[in-house]
Structure 1
Amino acid sequence: MDCLIKSLTPNKAAFGRHETFALRYGWLTKGFQAFQHNNEIFSSDEATVQLGVGKNMVNAIRYWLRATQMLEVSQDGLHATEIGNALFSEQGWDPYLEDEATLWLIHWMLASNAELATAWFWFFNCFHKSEFTVDEAANSLVDFVNQELTGKHSERTVKNEINLILRMYSQTKATAKVDLEDILDVPLASLQLISAGTSPQHYLTRLKRRNHLPLAVFGYAVNEIFNHRKISTLPIAELMYGEKQGVAIGSIFRLTESELLAKLERLIERYPRVYQINETAGINQLFRDDENVESLSFLRHHYENREWVNA
């Protein structure tokens, strides 16, 4: 399976394509299975009837399927990815998001997709303030866009991305602008990666142990990093913090340094023929001995065996 990480490219960025709709429970399954039955569903006049939503929500569902990399566009048009089929087909591993591993995986897919989920990529890889206000995050994202990206991007649209990220990941209260249905129907809030602070505009995103992050998803992410970088050796510090504006597992999952290392040790215990840690020139490095191991195999062990849930 091809690596699904999408690096930051100055001329490839996306903001506001979700029509301001946060990802909801059921959308990925409903949209994916509808696409399997009719690969032109999102451009069909029947889409609103079959999906049971308005036109703008149809566009949002298509966007979220692409942003989470369950569907992708190629020269032949829109098609399902291997991981999309594995998870959300009618006989998939977890089409109804009953396993928390799937939520962690969806989060990883968003945060490692700089092309279509640029704000999510930035927030979880490049924004390192553990306490912040909405305005601080929004202004930082605008600065990042102005300094690192090309093309024209509406400042208002860019800033609004922060509001949607907070709505998707934190347990916020209903307001005149955000109704109760939107709050109760956001699956990624259960990951507790962002929490409300002491005031309505104040938020926290702390590094923690993340005991509920399954080793399978962590292993999948580690393997994707190796595939993306096309290397066999990786400094552990780069897994924690990433290259400059690169994908950083520790940051995406909001792990402490000690917990990242602990999860790597557990990964090595389970896959001693694939990974090992050695010190080279005073630098702790993770080695991958088997470059042919498929990222999907880590997930397959979890979903088909259900023997090792948490790391």
Structure 2
Amino acid sequence: MKFNPERMAFGRHETFAVRYGWLSKGFQAMDENSKVFESDEATVRLGVGKNMVSAIKYWLRACRMIDPVENIPTDLGTAILSEEGFDPYLEDEATIWLLHWLLATNAELATSWYWFFNRFHKPEFTGQELSTALIDFVNDQVTNKKKPSVSTLKNDATLLPRMYTQSRGNTRTPFEEALDSPFALLKLMSQSSGGRSYQTRPSSRPDVPLGVLGFAVCEMFEMKQTSVIPVEDLMYSKDNYPAIGSVFRLTENDLVTKLERLVEFIPGVFDIRDTAGQHQIYLSGTIDAIAFVTKHYENSRQGIAA
């Protein structure tokens, strides 16, 4: 969704990164009892402490699996995480890519994640540089209301690389904390051999499924309320909109190649044309974004490559 400096959120994760099992466990508990997160039984039902209950609820909202206003499962959440859903236990890597897109474009509830993947462009950085850049961004954007504390922003800046880099098996780290977040599987960020800096660079990413890409393109058309988007605007974040190339850390060539393949994935929806030397993608038909996700999982079950 489009970034609005009047609607931001930081530090609601209780310093806990997403863990395998949390989203499906929390979603299915809520499916059974819509008030589970407010009830005394939440800790028993989810098998975690109170702070972790809050974190699970937050990540479900930040990943757009439950509606933050009505506090009910979203259609997409039900399609994926319900017991009869496409992938309730995150066994298909496509689900992680989709959740990443949903999180990194949620500028309202996961502002630091939106900022990092759409507005922060240093290919190599230290944890201190990341914290400083986030604090500078917030100081620049938040002018009409109370700013979040520096410690809250530092917690976000610490959690980001922890979620997206694979652990190095520090023996002093408790077992639960050493378990990689599912987002580490995407390899969008890596840690230097000395552990003092991080890298995140555009790359050719064959693992990004066309169904997830199609969902993202549909959302971009919906956000912009248009029927034509320059490919450059899908590559780089402009005018406070997220960008597919930035969120998935794609090279320009890889994005164009994927978009050309996407045209054939569900024919009659998208079209790519050159207009005055500019690559543009057109919305030729009407379709629900979830249809692209559905097509991926149906193909996957039939053994058809993405």
Superposition TM-score tier, normalisation by shorter sequence: over 0.9
Distance 1:178 1:8, change over 3 A: farther
What is the letter of the counterpart of residue 167 of structure 2?
Answer: T
1:276 CA displacement:
1.1
1:78 CA displacement:
0.8
Distance 2:60 2:75 in 1: 13
Distance 2:194 2:239 in 1: 32
What is the letter of the counterpart of residue 94 of structure 1?
Answer: D
Match of 1:138 among 112, 131, 138: 131
Residue of structure 1 equivalent to 2:287: 293
Match of 1:189 among 177, 184, 205: 184
The percent identity for this pair of structures is 50
What is the letter of the counterpart of residue 13 of structure 1?
Answer: M
Answer whether contact 1:87 1:94 (CA < 8 A) is retained.
yes
Residue pairs, 1:67-106, within 5 angstroms: 67-74=62-69, 77-106=70-99
Match of 2:203, SS state, is: coil
What is the TM-score when the length of structure 2 is the normalising length? 0.95
Residue pairs, 1:129-208, within 5 angstroms: 129-150=122-143, 151-175=146-170, 178-208=173-203
What is the letter of the counterpart of residue 142 of structure 1?
Answer: I
Match of 2:202, SS state, is: coil
Distance 1:68 1:190, change over 3 A: same
Is 1:18 aligned to 2:13, yes or no? yes
1:130 CA displacement:
0.9
Match of 1:245 among 229, 240, 244: 240
* 173-182 or 121-130: bigger deviation: 173-182
What is the letter of the counterpart of residue 278 of structure 2?
Answer: I
Distance 1:177 1:288 in 2: 52
Is 1:269 aligned to 2:261, yes or no? no
Q: Deviations over 1:8-27 (max 9, x none)?
A: 11121111101000000001
Tell me the matched-pair count: 302
Match of 1:41 among 36, 42, 59: 36
What is the letter of the counterpart of residue 131 of structure 2?
Answer: A
Distance 1:305 1:272 in 2: 15
Match of 1:141, SS state, is: helix
Q: Deviations over 1:283-309 (max 9, x none)?
A: 21111111x211000011111232544
Match of 1:80, SS state, is: coil
* 23-32 or 146-155: bigger deviation: 146-155
Q: Deviations over 1:150-190 (max 9, x none)?
A: 43211111122121111110013355885342232411101
Is 1:61 aligned to 2:56, yes or no? yes
What is the letter of the counterpart of residue 86 of structure 2?
Answer: W
Residue of structure 2 equivalent to 1:221: 216
Is 1:303 aligned to 2:297, yes or no? yes
Q: Structure 1 unaligned runs (5+)?
A: 1-5
Answer whether contact 1:138 1:159 (CA < 8 A) is retained.
yes
Distance 2:34 2:172 in 1: 34
Is 1:126 aligned to 2:119, yes or no? yes
Distance 1:178 1:247, change over 3 A: farther
Q: Structure 2 unaligned runs (5+)?
A: none
Distance 2:141 2:271 in 1: 36
* 174-183 or 136-145: bigger deviation: 174-183
Distance 1:227 1:130 in 2: 30
Distance 1:55 1:26 in 2: 17
Residue of structure 2 equivalent to 1:3: none
